[in-house]
Structure 1
Amino acid sequence: MTDELPDDFEVPDDLSSLLDGSDEEPSVVLVITQVAQPAPLAAACAIAKVDVDVVPTPIGAIAVLRDPRAAADGAGAISKLLRTLPVILLERREGQITATRWTAGEQGDQLPAGLVLSEAPAVLEDLLLGSVQAGEVEGVMTSVGMSRWQAMRLIAKRR
Protein backbone atom coordinates (compact mmCIF):
# COMPACT_ATOMS: atom_id res chain seq x y z
CA MET A 1 0.00 0.00 0.00
CA THR A 2 1.41 3.35 -1.05
CA ASP A 3 0.62 6.61 0.74
CA GLU A 4 0.46 9.25 -1.95
CA LEU A 5 -0.19 12.92 -1.44
CA PRO A 6 -2.87 14.62 -3.51
CA ASP A 7 -1.61 16.67 -6.47
CA ASP A 8 -2.82 19.93 -4.91
CA PHE A 9 -1.04 19.37 -1.56
CA GLU A 10 1.30 22.24 -0.64
CA VAL A 11 3.63 22.72 2.29
CA PRO A 12 3.62 26.38 3.38
CA ASP A 13 6.95 28.22 3.54
CA ASP A 14 6.07 29.57 6.99
CA LEU A 15 4.75 26.82 9.30
CA SER A 16 3.78 29.30 12.04
CA SER A 17 0.40 29.77 10.36
CA LEU A 18 -0.42 26.18 11.31
CA LEU A 19 -0.06 27.05 15.00
CA ASP A 20 -1.66 30.48 14.93
CA GLY A 21 -5.41 30.34 15.55
CA SER A 22 -5.90 34.05 14.85
CA ASP A 23 -7.61 33.41 11.49
CA GLU A 24 -10.16 31.16 13.13
CA GLU A 25 -13.36 32.80 14.31
CA PRO A 26 -13.84 32.69 18.10
CA SER A 27 -16.57 30.38 19.35
CA VAL A 28 -17.10 32.15 22.70
CA VAL A 29 -16.46 35.80 23.53
CA LEU A 30 -16.78 37.27 27.03
CA VAL A 31 -16.14 40.80 28.25
CA ILE A 32 -15.31 40.97 31.95
CA THR A 33 -16.28 44.27 33.56
CA GLN A 34 -16.22 45.87 37.00
CA VAL A 35 -19.91 46.80 36.73
CA ALA A 36 -21.58 45.45 39.87
CA GLN A 37 -25.01 44.56 38.43
CA PRO A 38 -26.00 43.10 35.04
CA ALA A 39 -28.98 45.43 34.37
CA PRO A 40 -27.05 48.69 33.82
CA LEU A 41 -24.49 46.94 31.62
CA ALA A 42 -27.23 45.29 29.54
CA ALA A 43 -28.97 48.67 29.21
CA ALA A 44 -25.76 50.41 28.14
CA CYS A 45 -25.11 47.65 25.59
CA ALA A 46 -28.67 48.02 24.26
CA ILE A 47 -28.05 51.74 23.70
CA ALA A 48 -24.75 50.93 21.95
CA LYS A 49 -26.50 48.23 19.89
CA VAL A 50 -24.26 45.43 21.20
CA ASP A 51 -26.17 42.14 21.50
CA VAL A 52 -25.11 40.56 24.79
CA ASP A 53 -26.38 38.47 27.64
CA VAL A 54 -25.00 39.86 30.90
CA VAL A 55 -24.24 37.44 33.72
CA PRO A 56 -23.74 38.55 37.34
CA THR A 57 -20.63 37.38 39.18
CA PRO A 58 -18.92 38.38 42.44
CA ILE A 59 -16.14 40.13 40.47
CA GLY A 60 -18.46 42.12 38.18
CA ALA A 61 -20.88 41.60 35.34
CA ILE A 62 -19.74 39.55 32.36
CA ALA A 63 -21.07 40.37 28.90
CA VAL A 64 -21.43 37.30 26.69
CA LEU A 65 -21.51 38.47 23.08
CA ARG A 66 -24.25 36.87 21.01
CA ASP A 67 -22.10 37.14 17.86
CA PRO A 68 -18.56 36.00 18.64
CA ARG A 69 -17.35 37.40 15.30
CA ALA A 70 -18.01 40.90 16.69
CA ALA A 71 -15.48 40.49 19.51
CA ALA A 72 -13.37 43.58 18.81
CA ASP A 73 -16.37 45.80 18.04
CA GLY A 74 -18.20 44.59 21.15
CA ALA A 75 -15.22 45.01 23.47
CA GLY A 76 -14.50 48.42 21.97
CA ALA A 77 -18.09 49.60 22.43
CA ILE A 78 -18.35 48.28 26.00
CA SER A 79 -15.00 49.77 27.03
CA LYS A 80 -15.99 53.08 25.43
CA LEU A 81 -19.20 53.08 27.50
CA LEU A 82 -17.26 52.46 30.70
CA ARG A 83 -14.67 55.11 29.75
CA THR A 84 -11.93 54.88 32.37
CA LEU A 85 -12.68 51.38 33.66
CA PRO A 86 -10.69 48.70 31.86
CA VAL A 87 -12.45 45.58 30.61
CA ILE A 88 -10.98 42.24 29.62
CA LEU A 89 -11.93 40.54 26.39
CA LEU A 90 -11.71 36.76 26.59
CA GLU A 91 -11.93 34.83 23.33
CA ARG A 92 -12.03 31.08 22.96
CA ARG A 93 -10.93 29.57 19.72
CA GLU A 94 -10.51 25.85 19.32
CA GLY A 95 -7.89 24.87 21.88
CA GLN A 96 -6.84 28.41 22.76
CA ILE A 97 -8.03 31.21 25.04
CA THR A 98 -6.77 34.76 24.65
CA ALA A 99 -7.21 37.72 26.99
CA THR A 100 -6.87 41.37 25.99
CA ARG A 101 -7.30 44.53 28.04
CA TRP A 102 -9.46 47.32 26.56
CA THR A 103 -9.84 50.87 27.90
CA ALA A 104 -11.91 53.78 26.52
CA GLY A 105 -12.59 51.96 23.25
CA GLU A 106 -8.92 51.18 22.61
CA GLN A 107 -7.33 47.74 22.56
CA GLY A 108 -4.54 47.40 25.07
CA ASP A 109 -2.08 44.71 25.95
CA GLN A 110 -2.44 40.94 25.82
CA LEU A 111 -2.77 39.30 29.22
CA PRO A 112 -1.89 35.74 30.21
CA ALA A 113 -5.25 33.97 30.02
CA GLY A 114 -4.25 31.57 32.80
CA LEU A 115 -3.61 34.48 35.14
CA VAL A 116 -6.98 36.05 34.31
CA LEU A 117 -8.75 32.75 34.94
CA SER A 118 -6.81 31.79 38.08
CA GLU A 119 -8.97 33.77 40.52
CA ALA A 120 -12.11 33.89 38.38
CA PRO A 121 -15.48 32.60 39.60
CA ALA A 122 -16.51 29.17 38.34
CA VAL A 123 -19.29 30.61 36.15
CA LEU A 124 -16.69 32.45 34.05
CA GLU A 125 -14.88 29.22 33.23
CA ASP A 126 -18.20 27.43 32.62
CA LEU A 127 -19.27 30.11 30.14
CA LEU A 128 -15.89 30.15 28.44
CA LEU A 129 -15.79 26.39 28.01
CA GLY A 130 -19.41 26.25 26.88
CA SER A 131 -20.56 23.92 29.66
CA VAL A 132 -23.15 26.58 30.65
CA GLN A 133 -25.03 28.96 28.37
CA ALA A 134 -25.55 32.54 29.55
CA GLY A 135 -29.34 32.11 29.51
CA GLU A 136 -29.05 29.31 32.08
CA VAL A 137 -27.35 31.49 34.71
CA GLU A 138 -29.56 32.95 37.42
CA GLY A 139 -29.89 36.73 37.20
CA VAL A 140 -28.90 37.04 33.53
CA MET A 141 -30.06 40.18 31.66
CA THR A 142 -30.06 40.64 27.91
CA SER A 143 -29.63 43.72 25.77
CA VAL A 144 -31.46 42.02 22.91
CA GLY A 145 -34.94 43.44 22.38
CA MET A 146 -34.44 46.23 24.93
CA SER A 147 -35.59 49.55 23.49
CA ARG A 148 -33.57 52.71 23.94
CA TRP A 149 -36.33 54.09 26.15
CA GLN A 150 -36.33 50.97 28.37
CA ALA A 151 -32.54 51.10 28.60
CA MET A 152 -32.49 54.77 29.61
CA ARG A 153 -35.17 54.14 32.21
CA LEU A 154 -33.24 51.18 33.63
CA ILE A 155 -30.04 53.23 33.89
CA ALA A 156 -31.86 56.17 35.54
CA LYS A 157 -33.52 53.80 38.03
CA ARG A 158 -30.13 52.36 39.08
CA ARG A 159 -28.56 55.78 39.83
Structure 2
Amino acid sequence: MTTSDLPDDALPEGFSVPDDLSSLSDLSSPAEPAAIPTAAGPVAADPAAAAAVAADPATAPDAAAAAPEAPAHKIAIILTQVATAEALAAACAVNKIVVDAVTSPVGAYAICRDLSEGAPAELARAVSTLVKTVPLILFEAAGGQVKASQWQGGKRLGDMPAALVLDGAPHEFEDLLFGTTTVHDLPGVVSSAGMSRWKAMRNLSGKARKQRGGE
Protein backbone atom coordinates (compact mmCIF):
# COMPACT_ATOMS: atom_id res chain seq x y z
CA MET A 1 0.00 0.00 0.00
CA THR A 2 1.20 3.48 -0.74
CA THR A 3 2.02 5.25 2.52
CA SER A 4 3.33 8.60 3.64
CA ASP A 5 4.42 10.50 6.71
CA LEU A 6 0.83 11.33 7.60
CA PRO A 7 0.45 12.36 11.26
CA ASP A 8 -0.23 9.28 13.31
CA ASP A 9 -2.16 11.13 16.00
CA ALA A 10 -4.61 9.28 18.19
CA LEU A 11 -8.00 8.79 16.63
CA PRO A 12 -10.73 10.92 18.25
CA GLU A 13 -13.17 9.23 20.57
CA GLY A 14 -16.92 9.43 20.11
CA PHE A 15 -16.94 9.48 16.32
CA SER A 16 -19.03 7.07 14.31
CA VAL A 17 -17.20 6.51 11.04
CA PRO A 18 -18.51 4.18 8.33
CA ASP A 19 -16.14 1.34 7.51
CA ASP A 20 -17.64 1.24 4.03
CA LEU A 21 -17.88 4.39 1.91
CA SER A 22 -20.50 2.85 -0.33
CA SER A 23 -23.16 4.85 1.53
CA LEU A 24 -21.46 8.02 0.29
CA SER A 25 -21.54 6.86 -3.31
CA ASP A 26 -22.99 8.75 -6.23
CA LEU A 27 -24.06 6.15 -8.77
CA SER A 28 -24.06 7.19 -12.41
CA SER A 29 -25.68 5.85 -15.56
CA PRO A 30 -23.59 3.47 -17.69
CA ALA A 31 -21.40 4.97 -20.38
CA GLU A 32 -21.56 4.22 -24.11
CA PRO A 33 -18.60 3.13 -26.21
CA ALA A 34 -16.26 5.74 -27.67
CA ALA A 35 -12.97 5.76 -29.49
CA ILE A 36 -9.77 6.34 -27.54
CA PRO A 37 -6.68 7.91 -29.07
CA THR A 38 -3.76 5.51 -29.01
CA ALA A 39 -0.88 7.94 -29.32
CA ALA A 40 0.09 11.46 -28.34
CA GLY A 41 -0.27 14.29 -30.86
CA PRO A 42 2.57 15.58 -33.00
CA VAL A 43 5.38 17.54 -31.34
CA ALA A 44 5.77 21.14 -32.45
CA ALA A 45 8.85 21.80 -34.55
CA ASP A 46 11.72 24.01 -33.36
CA PRO A 47 11.37 27.33 -35.34
CA ALA A 48 15.15 27.93 -35.47
CA ALA A 49 15.87 24.44 -36.76
CA ALA A 50 13.11 24.74 -39.34
CA ALA A 51 14.57 28.01 -40.64
CA ALA A 52 18.05 26.47 -40.92
CA VAL A 53 16.74 23.52 -42.89
CA ALA A 54 14.82 25.83 -45.21
CA ALA A 55 18.02 27.79 -45.93
CA ASP A 56 20.17 24.73 -46.52
CA PRO A 57 18.43 21.33 -46.53
CA ALA A 58 21.81 19.58 -46.51
CA THR A 59 22.38 20.81 -42.96
CA ALA A 60 19.24 19.16 -41.61
CA PRO A 61 20.17 17.15 -38.50
CA ASP A 62 19.24 13.57 -38.08
CA ALA A 63 16.00 13.86 -36.12
CA ALA A 64 16.47 10.68 -34.15
CA ALA A 65 19.98 11.66 -33.07
CA ALA A 66 19.38 15.38 -32.49
CA ALA A 67 16.12 15.31 -30.54
CA PRO A 68 16.38 13.91 -27.02
CA GLU A 69 13.73 11.35 -26.29
CA ALA A 70 10.98 12.84 -24.14
CA PRO A 71 9.99 10.82 -21.09
CA ALA A 72 6.83 8.86 -21.75
CA HIS A 73 3.75 10.21 -20.03
CA LYS A 74 2.62 7.85 -17.28
CA ILE A 75 -0.28 8.15 -14.87
CA ALA A 76 -2.69 6.00 -12.88
CA ILE A 77 -6.15 7.14 -11.76
CA ILE A 78 -8.78 5.35 -9.71
CA LEU A 79 -12.37 6.27 -10.56
CA THR A 80 -14.79 5.62 -7.70
CA GLN A 81 -18.47 6.20 -7.03
CA VAL A 82 -17.79 8.14 -3.84
CA ALA A 83 -19.64 11.44 -4.13
CA THR A 84 -16.92 13.91 -3.09
CA ALA A 85 -13.15 14.31 -3.16
CA GLU A 86 -13.23 15.24 0.54
CA ALA A 87 -14.77 11.90 1.51
CA LEU A 88 -12.40 9.92 -0.69
CA ALA A 89 -9.31 11.79 0.54
CA ALA A 90 -10.44 11.46 4.17
CA ALA A 91 -10.88 7.70 3.89
CA CYS A 92 -7.45 7.42 2.28
CA ALA A 93 -5.88 9.62 4.99
CA VAL A 94 -7.30 7.42 7.77
CA ASN A 95 -5.70 4.42 6.06
CA LYS A 96 -2.44 6.25 5.29
CA ILE A 97 -2.97 6.07 1.52
CA VAL A 98 -1.54 9.01 -0.40
CA VAL A 99 -3.67 10.30 -3.29
CA ASP A 100 -4.84 13.54 -4.83
CA ALA A 101 -8.64 13.34 -4.98
CA VAL A 102 -10.91 15.23 -7.37
CA THR A 103 -14.70 15.49 -7.47
CA SER A 104 -16.41 14.80 -10.79
CA PRO A 105 -20.01 14.34 -11.98
CA VAL A 106 -19.49 10.57 -12.19
CA GLY A 107 -17.79 10.16 -8.81
CA ALA A 108 -14.59 11.24 -7.11
CA TYR A 109 -11.33 9.94 -8.54
CA ALA A 110 -7.91 9.46 -6.98
CA ILE A 111 -4.69 10.29 -8.81
CA CYS A 112 -1.90 7.95 -7.73
CA ARG A 113 1.41 9.46 -6.67
CA ASP A 114 3.37 6.22 -6.61
CA LEU A 115 3.73 4.87 -10.16
CA SER A 116 6.36 2.23 -9.42
CA GLU A 117 5.80 -1.31 -10.66
CA GLY A 118 2.67 -2.79 -9.07
CA ALA A 119 1.91 0.29 -6.94
CA PRO A 120 -1.27 1.41 -8.78
CA ALA A 121 -2.75 -2.09 -8.55
CA GLU A 122 -1.95 -2.27 -4.86
CA LEU A 123 -3.54 1.14 -4.37
CA ALA A 124 -6.67 0.04 -6.26
CA ARG A 125 -6.86 -3.02 -4.04
CA ALA A 126 -6.58 -0.90 -0.90
CA VAL A 127 -9.09 1.75 -1.99
CA SER A 128 -11.58 -0.89 -3.13
CA THR A 129 -11.66 -2.26 0.41
CA LEU A 130 -12.92 1.17 1.55
CA VAL A 131 -15.87 1.04 -0.87
CA LYS A 132 -16.87 -2.56 -0.44
CA THR A 133 -20.22 -2.87 -2.21
CA VAL A 134 -19.61 -0.88 -5.40
CA PRO A 135 -16.83 -1.40 -7.94
CA LEU A 136 -14.13 1.06 -8.91
CA ILE A 137 -11.99 1.30 -12.01
CA LEU A 138 -8.22 1.66 -12.23
CA PHE A 139 -6.96 3.45 -15.34
CA GLU A 140 -3.27 3.15 -16.22
CA ALA A 141 -1.88 5.22 -19.09
CA ALA A 142 1.60 5.11 -20.58
CA GLY A 143 2.79 6.43 -23.93
CA GLY A 144 -0.74 7.18 -25.14
CA GLN A 145 -2.02 3.68 -24.37
CA VAL A 146 -4.74 3.27 -21.73
CA LYS A 147 -5.84 0.12 -19.96
CA ALA A 148 -8.60 -0.25 -17.39
CA SER A 149 -9.40 -2.84 -14.75
CA GLN A 150 -12.32 -3.21 -12.35
CA TRP A 151 -11.87 -3.78 -8.61
CA GLN A 152 -14.24 -4.47 -5.74
CA GLY A 153 -13.79 -5.49 -2.13
CA GLY A 154 -10.02 -5.71 -2.46
CA LYS A 155 -10.13 -7.98 -5.50
CA ARG A 156 -9.43 -7.43 -9.17
CA LEU A 157 -12.52 -8.43 -11.14
CA GLY A 158 -10.91 -8.24 -14.57
CA ASP A 159 -10.10 -5.95 -17.49
CA MET A 160 -12.53 -3.46 -18.98
CA PRO A 161 -12.62 -1.72 -22.39
CA ALA A 162 -11.22 1.69 -21.51
CA ALA A 163 -13.17 3.36 -24.32
CA LEU A 164 -16.47 2.18 -22.86
CA VAL A 165 -15.81 3.86 -19.52
CA LEU A 166 -14.00 6.94 -20.75
CA ASP A 167 -16.94 8.02 -22.89
CA GLY A 168 -18.87 8.91 -19.75
CA ALA A 169 -15.93 10.50 -17.93
CA PRO A 170 -15.41 14.29 -17.70
CA HIS A 171 -13.11 15.79 -20.33
CA GLU A 172 -10.37 16.68 -17.83
CA PHE A 173 -10.18 13.00 -16.84
CA GLU A 174 -9.11 12.08 -20.36
CA ASP A 175 -6.81 15.11 -20.46
CA LEU A 176 -5.04 13.77 -17.37
CA LEU A 177 -4.67 10.32 -18.90
CA PHE A 178 -3.14 11.65 -22.10
CA GLY A 179 -0.95 14.27 -20.47
CA THR A 180 -2.58 17.42 -21.86
CA THR A 181 -3.27 18.60 -18.32
CA THR A 182 -1.86 17.87 -14.86
CA VAL A 183 -3.25 17.61 -11.36
CA HIS A 184 -1.87 21.10 -10.68
CA ASP A 185 -4.22 22.50 -13.33
CA LEU A 186 -7.36 21.14 -11.67
CA PRO A 187 -9.50 23.12 -9.22
CA GLY A 188 -10.63 21.67 -5.92
CA VAL A 189 -7.99 18.97 -5.56
CA VAL A 190 -7.96 17.44 -2.06
CA SER A 191 -4.79 15.66 -1.01
CA SER A 192 -4.81 12.97 1.65
CA ALA A 193 -1.13 13.71 2.33
CA GLY A 194 -1.86 16.92 4.21
CA MET A 195 -4.84 15.63 6.19
CA SER A 196 -4.44 14.44 9.77
CA ARG A 197 -6.22 11.28 10.80
CA TRP A 198 -8.23 13.27 13.35
CA LYS A 199 -9.49 15.68 10.68
CA ALA A 200 -10.19 12.80 8.32
CA MET A 201 -12.22 10.91 10.93
CA ARG A 202 -14.23 14.04 11.74
CA ASN A 203 -14.84 14.61 8.03
CA LEU A 204 -16.17 11.09 7.50
CA SER A 205 -18.22 11.18 10.69
CA GLY A 206 -19.92 14.40 9.59
CA LYS A 207 -20.73 13.01 6.15
CA ALA A 208 -22.12 9.83 7.68
CA ARG A 209 -24.41 11.83 9.99
CA LYS A 210 -25.66 13.92 7.06
CA GLN A 211 -26.28 10.78 5.04
CA ARG A 212 -28.30 9.23 7.87
CA GLY A 213 -30.23 12.46 8.36
CA GLY A 214 -31.22 12.51 4.70
CA GLU A 215 -32.57 8.99 4.75
Q: Is TM > 0.5 for Structure 1 vs Structure 2?
A: yes
For residue 89 of structure 1, what is the aligned residue in structure 2?
138
Note the alpha carbon deviations across 1:10-65, whole angstroms, 9 max, x for none.
xxxxxxxxxxxxxxx98200000011111010011111221110111100001001
Give the CA deviation at 1:118: 1.6
In structure 2, the CA distance between the partners of 1:138 and 1:26, relative to structure 1 (3 Å rule), is: closer
Contact kept? 1:26, 1:91, Cα under 8 Å: no
Question: Which residue of the other structure, out of 83, 89, 108, is the alignment partner of 1:42?
Answer: 89
Distance in 1 between the 2:81 and 2:133 partners?
A: 11
Give the CA deviation at 1:67: 1.1
Give the CA deviation at 1:95: 3.1
Contact kept? 1:53, 1:142, Cα under 8 Å: yes
More divergent stretch after superposition (97-106 vs 42-51): 42-51
Note the alpha carbon deviations across 1:93-115, whole angstroms, 9 max, x for none.
22311000000010111001111
Give the CA deviation at 1:76: 0.5
Runs of 4+ in 1 over 3 A off after TM superposition: none
Aligned length: 135
TM-score (norm 2): 0.60
Distance in 2 between the 1:49 and 1:108 partners?
A: 24
Larger Rg belongs to: 2
Residue pairs, 1:28-107, within 5 angstroms: 28-69=75-116, 70-107=119-156
TM-score (norm 1): 0.80
Contact kept? 2:75, 2:140, Cα under 8 Å: yes
Identity across matched positions, percent: 44
- SS of 2:76's equivalent in the other structure is strand
Contact kept? 1:57, 1:123, Cα under 8 Å: no
Distance in 1 between the 2:151 and 2:73 partners?
A: 17
In structure 2, the CA distance between the partners of 1:47 and 1:118, relative to structure 1 (3 Å rule), is: same
Distance in 1 between the 2:148 and 2:182 partners?
A: 20
Greater strand content: 1
> Which stretches in structure 1 are left out of the alignment for 5+ residues?
1-24
Residue pairs, 1:135-154, within 5 angstroms: 135-154=184-203
Contact kept? 1:26, 1:68, Cα under 8 Å: no
> Which stretches in structure 2 are left out of the alignment for 5+ residues?
1-71, 209-215
Query: What is the aligned-residue RMSD (CA, Å)?
Result: 1.5
